[in-house]
Amino acid sequence: MNRLIDGYQTTTLVYAALGLGLPEHMGAAPCTAQELASATGAPPGRLFRLLRALAAIGICEELPDASFALSQAGQQLRADSGSGLREKAILAVEHYWPAWAAFEHCVTREQTAFAAAFGMTPWEYRRDHPRLGEAFNTWLAAETRANCASVVAAIDVARTSRVADIGGGNGGLLRALLLAHPHLSGVLFDQPHVIRQAAASFGEEFGSHRVQFAGGDFFAQVPVQAELYLLKSVVHDWDDADAVRILRNCRAAMPAHARLALIERVLPERAVQAPATIMVDAQMMAITGGRERGLGEFERLLRHGGLALRGVTHTAAGFAIIEALAP
């Protein structure tokens, strides 16, 4: 219980280390508090105490000569690690923490804890705070990269030439699909400011004949044509009414014989069977007002969106591919 209650200390120690740039300053070779003091401008005595606290939680190792080296876990906080965990730690403190401090609010009232803390939705907040918006997209893209291999392997595109990644963020899934299937072209659809960042990060990796970018609002219209529409971790951000609106707009855009696949975690019967999914559900309740769902609930959403469930494939990464057709 003590360890659970003290979780805030771990989160803020990581955040302080990032604020001082320690993971970047601590290169491959061990360094002393004195050396890091010169690099960061922090007083060496207090920096030493911070480094020892970081050693106590496993972010770095304290060596016998009183120098410190980043641990394997600590290495993941470096910007060049590609883990997205640096960005996640920044979001944890600056974006999610104030909302989670008001968690009780979203249990007792019809409002998210995020709205209680910030007076707006997280989408609006990140649009107005581009640094956090970029951190969010980078973190999600890294997560998607890390766990999309089994998703990509399970998506059947043998007879598909064009896919649309709706609410695709930085395009991590689309990129992986295009790399795995040279015959495929794709379109990434998301909010205009997200698409601008994604288009820049894709660079010249694929020519414009293989990837296009479309910015818009999926509550207004989904103005993209494809044979397969993918929505990964999109409907879990929304309550049923909003999720159905998104699906109906996809349905309206879908040509005859097109498919749509939700890529989502599926709620277990009991929390102990998939605790990570249960924690994502709590995050959705606090932050977006969305929810994780069971298979029956996905089937109902699809039906109300004008789609018919075709099949479900579970993947090793814990995501299910819930495929539907326009009847």
- Please pick, from the candidates 74, 122, 168, 305, the single residue that binds ligand SAM as defined by CB under 6 A: 168
Q: Determine which one of 236, 257, 304, 314 is catalytic.
A: 236
Cβ(90)–Cβ(15) under 8 Å? Answer: yes
CA dihedral 223, 226, 231, 235 (to 10 degrees): 50
Q: Nearer Cβ to ligand SAM, position 68 or 136?
A: 136
Interaction pattern, residues 68-87, with ligand SAM; x per rule: CB under 6 A: --------------------
Site size with ligand SAM, rule: CB under 6 A: 17
From the list 71-79, 111-119, 231-239, 312-320, the region that binds ligand SAM by CB under 6 A is 231-239
Site for ligand SAM in 262-301 (CB under 6 A): none
- Please pick, from the candidates 237, 281, 292, 323, the single residue that binds ligand SAM as defined by CB under 6 A: 237
CA gap 129, 206 in Å, rounded:
29
From the list 23-31, 58-66, 92-100, 233-241, the region that binds ligand SAM by CB under 6 A is 233-241
Tokens of 12: 């803020």
Residue 95 one-letter amino acid: H
CA gap 253, 250 in Å, rounded:
5
Dihedral sign from CA coordinates of 132, 134, 140, 146: negative
The DSSP output letter for 255 is: P
| Paired sense of beta strands 320-325 and 162-166, if any | unpaired
129 classed as catalytic? no
Cβ(203)–Cβ(170) under 8 Å? Answer: no
The DSSP output letter for 208 is: T
From the list 58-66, 99-107, 164-172, 317-325, the region that binds ligand SAM by CB under 6 A is 164-172
Closest approach, Cβ 105 to ligand SAM, in A, equals: 22
Site for ligand SAM in 93-122 (CB under 6 A): none
Cβ(251)–Cβ(279) under 8 Å? Answer: no
138: nearest Cα among 85, 100, 192: 85
Cβ(54)–Cβ(99) under 8 Å? Answer: no
Tell me, rounded to whole angstroms, the distance of Cα 26 from its chain centroid. 27
Closest approach, Cβ 108 to ligand SAM, in A, equals: 25
Closest approach, Cβ 290 to ligand SAM, in A, equals: 9
Q: Nearer Cβ to ligand SAM, position 113 or 198?
A: 198
From the list 78-86, 90-98, 168-176, 250-258, the region that binds ligand SAM by CB under 6 A is 168-176
Closest approach, Cβ 87 to ligand SAM, in A, equals: 13
State the number of CA atoms in the 13 A half-sphere of 323 facing the CB. 16
CA dihedral 58, 27, 35, 87 (to 10 degrees): -60
From the list 217-225, 270-278, 304-312, 317-325, the region that binds ligand SAM by CB under 6 A is 217-225
Does residue 232 interact with ligand SAM by CB under 6 A? Answer: yes
Q: Give CA angle at 48 (42, 50), nearest 5°.
A: 80
Could you give the 3-state DSSP secondary structure of residue 325?
A: strand
Closest approach, Cβ 246 to ligand SAM, in A, equals: 8
- Please pick, from the candidates 107, 179, 217, 252, the single residue that binds ligand SAM as defined by CB under 6 A: 217
Site for ligand SAM in 130-149 (CB under 6 A): 140, 144
CA gap 148, 143 in Å, rounded:
8
Site for ligand SAM in 171-210 (CB under 6 A): 172, 190-191, 194
Catalytic residue set: 236
Q: Which residues bind ligand SAM (CB under 6 A)?
A: 123, 140, 144, 167-169, 172, 190-191, 194, 217-219, 232-234, 237
